[in-house]
Amino acid sequence: MNVDAIIHHAGWFLFVWVFANQSGIPVPVVPSLVAAGALAGRGGPSCAVMLAAAASGAVGADMVWYGLGRWRGAQALSLLGRLLHRPRTCADHVEHAFRAHEVGFQFWAQFLPELNPIAAGLAGATGVALGRYIVIASGTAMTWAGTWIALGYLLADVLGEAIAYLGVWIVVLVALAVVALVVVRFARRRRSRTELVKSAALVLVTKVNQEEDTMPVIAILGAGPGMGLAIAKTFGAHGYRVALLSRHPATQEPFVTELARHGIISAAFRADARDRESIASGLAAVKQRFGSIDVLEFSPFDRTLPMPSATELTYESVRVWIDLYVHGAVTAVNHVLPDMLARGSGTILFTTSASSVHPAPRFGAVGAAMAWLRNWAYALHAAVAPKGVQVGHVAIGAFVGRRPGAIRDEIASLYWELHMHHHEIEKVFLLDAADWLPEQTQPSRLASKTKGVR
């Protein structure tokens, strides 16, 4: 193959070379990118062609590692943990750190070939959406390749004169010598560098292990983008790890990422409040992942369920709410209460609407189920408070996030107050009595926003 043919197919050569480098093979790629830019500046394939070839090779390699991480993500994180002798803690920390600095981590990994496969694999292992990852990988690849290609393009004349002066074969021999030197040095240093990285990681993980093993855990059953996320942030800000339980844990991943940006360790789990087996398996998974549950917050809601008024009740319309608020709560409490009683500490918090406190005809079915839950909260508090376990209830009478004054963070603080003040049982947040009570029963003390203890 002559020189003209090589120049004509330079884009393909660059694609293969970059793909190999970004896949983790220790081949020097920066000189190739600079040379590609210089070639473009001397009348060869354009910079756009070279950039497209290099970026495609990089993204192609990234997608291979992303796919492996997505396919075998849990095993990959577990393997890293076993190598460092801290399996559970290491997996949690690596996932948390990556989520907290996802874009920055992937950007700088592009400039460090040995780190790039790890970043791509972590993206797959931690469940980064495919579309989002392609956008990030493409942007970082084009920035990385474009930087070196642009440098070569600007130095095209200088490099061209050097080649003309020294001769092509001299340049080739020098390049081969450089490659050989890099390979030899890489082989010599790889073992010591691996041991150094492993030792440093072990020190870091040991420190994280000491810190995280003392961090308490809150499990939020019925987590969502509203109060569930606000409660997670409130407790997370006080050093809690957060377990988000819902019917569709995939929808919780953006919240896990958001919490990570606030420095809060969290994970999503599946649990359907109307399915007793699902609740038990979900809470068991939380315990396996994080350890003992210190706080259980129970706040499920299903907008698809019928909401008949007091005069429209049927057996079925009542049963679905009983399954949700009665059977679901009992199952969840039965799973965490024995451990709390054995430790002599723990908190169980229930969430309902204000209709559990102030019956309203339009909430005939759901209000009755919530009233039962409130009644049980009082009875349970009386039974376990002397044994060190707190039980509390928060009733919310407001369309949170949709009306002035119904601020999620302020309401979430009520949960923390109940958790800390064991002499209190109930907090009621009632923004406007007219929304919840018949006119003739509205007490004047509820005419404006109240947050009371019952």
- 39 and 81 co-located in one domain: yes
The two three-digit tokens of residue 104, written as one number: 């920055």
Q: What pLDDT is stored for residue 108 in this prediction?
A: 65
Q: What pLDDT is stored for residue 8 in this prediction?
A: 60
Comparing CA positions, the residue from 308, 297, 395, 304 lying closest to residue 346 is 297
Domain boundary (156, 188, 210) is at 210
Domain boundary (193, 210, 227) is at 210
Cα distance between residue 435 and residue 414, in whole Å = 21
- 271 and 415 co-located in one domain: yes
**Contact by Cβ (8 Å): 128, 67:** no
3-class SS string, 69-113: HHHCHHHHHHHHHHHCCCHHHHHHHHHHHHHHCHHHHHHHHHCCC
Q: What pLDDT is stored for residue 224 in this prediction?
A: 85
Tell me the per-residue pLDDT of 338-381, one tens digit each, with 9 for 90 and over.
Answer: 999 999 999 999 999 888 888 888 888 888 999 999 999 999 99
Select the more confidently predicted residue: 271 or 196.
271
Residues 6+ apart with CB under 8 A from 18: 29, 32, 33, 53, 54, 57, 58, 61, 145
The answer, yes or no, to whether residue 236 has pLDDT greater than 80, is: yes
Q: Which domain holds residue 296?
A: 215-452
- 298 and 394 co-located in one domain: yes
The answer, yes or no, to whether residue 48 has pLDDT greater than 50, is: yes
Q: Provide the 10 A C-beta neighbour count for residue 1.
A: 7
Select the more confidently predicted residue: 17 or 212.
17
- 152 and 260 co-located in one domain: no
The answer, yes or no, to whether residue 171 has pLDDT greater than 60, is: no
- 271 and 202 co-located in one domain: no
Max mean pLDDT among 170-184, 325-339, 393-407 falls in 325-339
The answer, yes or no, to whether residue 288 has pLDDT greater than 70, is: yes
CA 317 to the chain's CA centroid: 36
| 86 — pLDDT class (breaks 50, 70, 90) | very low
Share of the chain above pLDDT 70, in %: 66
Select the more confidently predicted residue: 397 or 276.
276
DSSP lists the bridge partners of residue 219 as 243, 296
Domain boundary (160, 176, 210) is at 210
> Would you put residue 112 in left (φ > 0), alpha (ψ -120 to 50) or beta?
beta
**Contact by Cβ (8 Å): 96, 122:** no
**Contact by Cβ (8 Å): 343, 391:** no
DSSP 303-346: TTS----TTS--HHHHHHHHIIIIIHHHHHHHHHHHHHHHHT-E
Select the more confidently predicted residue: 387 or 4.
387
- 201 and 301 co-located in one domain: no
The answer, yes or no, to whether residue 233 has pLDDT greater than 90, is: yes
- Could you give the 3-state DSSP secondary structure of residue 398? coil
Q: Which amino acid is located at 384 in the chain?
A: V
What is the reported pTM? 0.57
Comparing CA positions, the residue from 416, 414, 378, 408 lying closest to residue 394 is 414
- 288 and 413 co-located in one domain: yes
The two three-digit tokens of residue 259, written as one number: 């919490």
The two three-digit tokens of residue 322, written as one number: 């009983």
- 307 and 264 co-located in one domain: yes
Q: Which amino acid is located at 405 in the chain?
A: G
Q: What CATH number is attached to the domain comprising 373?
A: 3.40.50.720
**Contact by Cβ (8 Å): 145, 58:** yes
Cα distance between residue 279 and residue 298, in whole Å = 11
Cα distance between residue 81 and residue 209, in whole Å = 12
- 167 and 50 co-located in one domain: yes
CA dihedral angle for residue 75, residue 81, residue 85, residue 89, rounded to 10 degrees: -120
Q: What pLDDT is stored for residue 73 in this prediction?
A: 53
Tell me the per-residue pLDDT of 1-42, one tens digit each, with 9 for 90 and over.
Answer: 454 555 566 778 788 888 887 777 767 777 778 877 777 776
Q: What pLDDT is stored for residue 101 in this prediction?
A: 59
- 278 and 361 co-located in one domain: yes
Arithmetic mean of pLDDT, 225-244 = 91
- 91 and 58 co-located in one domain: yes
Comparing CA positions, the residue from 227, 233, 287 lying closest to residue 256 is 233
Cα distance between residue 392 and residue 408, in whole Å = 18
- 205 and 288 co-located in one domain: no
**Contact by Cβ (8 Å): 207, 282:** no
Number of folded domains in the chain? Answer: 2
Select the more confidently predicted residue: 142 or 210.
142
Arithmetic mean of pLDDT, 62-71 = 78
